[in-house]
Amino acid sequence: MRALLGLVVLSSVAYARPIPIAPEELRHVVFDHVVIADAKDDWGTGPITIEKSPSEQDVRLVMSRAIDAKQLPAALRAWDGRRLQIGDDRCAATITELQLLAVSEPEHESGFWNRAVRPLPPRGEALSTWRASHVWLVGNYPGCANRRWARAGDLKAAAIATPTIITDKVRDDALASFRALPAYRTVQARFRAAGEWEASDSGVDPFLRFDLAGRSFITHVAGIDQKGLVERVLAIWELVDGKLALRHVATTKALPPRSFGIVEALDVHGVGRALFLFHTNESRGGFDEAGDTVTDVPELRLATP
């Protein structure tokens, strides 16, 4: 199963426009490489190296290639040698090399990659597969394995919160609030079985609490994929004086197409905006709240790796 990163940004303050997230403030980490930008076709040069072959556990094919420095914009070349803080423990590392990383999902586990003992010349099936993959400019760094995100090493540490599962009255109130949402009731009206659409034999998925920079948030995600009914609903509340205040609701079209779970919250800018990180099996993305309007954040949007 793949574990990929995406983001939802939330604030209870009405901003006239989204606060841009600069590249140095937050970057995804993919296969222990920091993702700098989507790559263009002419940025690569030389042979293609197979980094990881598809398997039953992980169907992705991962390939790498050197960069043609002459084709790379100066602002992106400047990432070489940049100091980073990686993950919630601020693991210190320095980018030692820039390269291209290509990720795809072949239809079969076996292919030309199984015979690739050495780097492959950029022609034939290897080159066509490379061109059909999603390709990123990434930075390599030693150490700091198995982190989700990175930011520039000279920035102030972001406030971070990990979730706790709640089982008290707040959870009961949140469940009642969730089931009263128009988005929830719309799905319930299409549900043809007994009971509530999001409840399984083991009950409903957990309600999570995040205590971040003096604020407390409750999150819940529910989904169904049954007999043509494929829907997801996300709700986020803030706990204010012991009472729930609904801050954000997102439905299927604005959410990843497969199950996901929120795993962490950050305040990247230090201004009280909660940025929620989630794992999903299929997509990456980011959403930022501007007033009551949720807008896409292009600089956090990565295609399916």
In DSSP terms, which residues pair with 218 in a beta bridge?
209, 237
pLDDT of residue 123: 94
In DSSP terms, which residues pair with 251 in a beta bridge?
233
Strand 134-140 with 97-104, pairing? antiparallel
Arithmetic mean of pLDDT, 105-133? 90
Number of Cβ within 10 Å of residue 143's Cβ equals 10
236's tokens: 């986020």
The residue type found at 16 is A
Residue 15 in this model has a pLDDT that exceeds 50: no
User: For the chain, first and last CA: distance in Å?
Assistant: 13
Residue labelled with tokens 């597969």: 129
Number of Cβ within 10 Å of residue 17's Cβ equals 10
91 confidence band (pLDDT: 50, 70, 90): very high
Maximum mean pLDDT: which of 75-79, 147-151, 252-256? 75-79
Strand 243-251 with 260-267, pairing? unpaired
- Residues 6+ positions from 163 with CB-CB distance below 8 Å: 208, 209, 210, 219, 262, 263, 264, 265
305 confidence band (pLDDT: 50, 70, 90): very low
> What does the pLDDT look like over 189-226, one tens digit per residue?
999 888 899 998 888 999 999 998 888 999 999 999 88
In DSSP terms, which residues pair with 69 in a beta bridge?
none
> What does the pLDDT look like over 25-52, one tens digit per residue?
888 888 889 988 889 888 999 999 999 8
In DSSP terms, which residues pair with 277 in a beta bridge?
7, 264
pLDDT of residue 88: 87
Number of Cβ within 10 Å of residue 4's Cβ equals 19
**Residue-by-residue DSSP string for 224-258:** EEETTEEEEEEEEEEEETTEEEEEEEEEGGGS-SS
Residue 246 in this model has a pLDDT that exceeds 50: yes
Which of 79-83, 120-124, 274-278 has the weakest average pLDDT?
A: 274-278
14 confidence band (pLDDT: 50, 70, 90): very low
Residue 109 in this model has a pLDDT that exceeds 60: yes
What DSSP element (H or E) covers 162? Answer: none
pLDDT of residue 254: 78
Which of 20-29, 178-187, 270-279 has the weakest average pLDDT?
A: 270-279
pLDDT of residue 275: 81
Average pLDDT over the chain, rounded to an integer: 82
pLDDT of residue 171: 96
Strand 159-161 with 149-152, pairing? unpaired
Positive or negative CA dihedral for 23, 24, 26, 31?
positive
Measured in degrees and rounded to the nearest 5, phi and psi for residue 299 equal -70, -10
How many helices (H) does the chain have, and how many strands (E)?
Answer: 4, 20
Cα–Cα distance, 182 to 50 (Å, whole number): 48
pLDDT of residue 299: 39
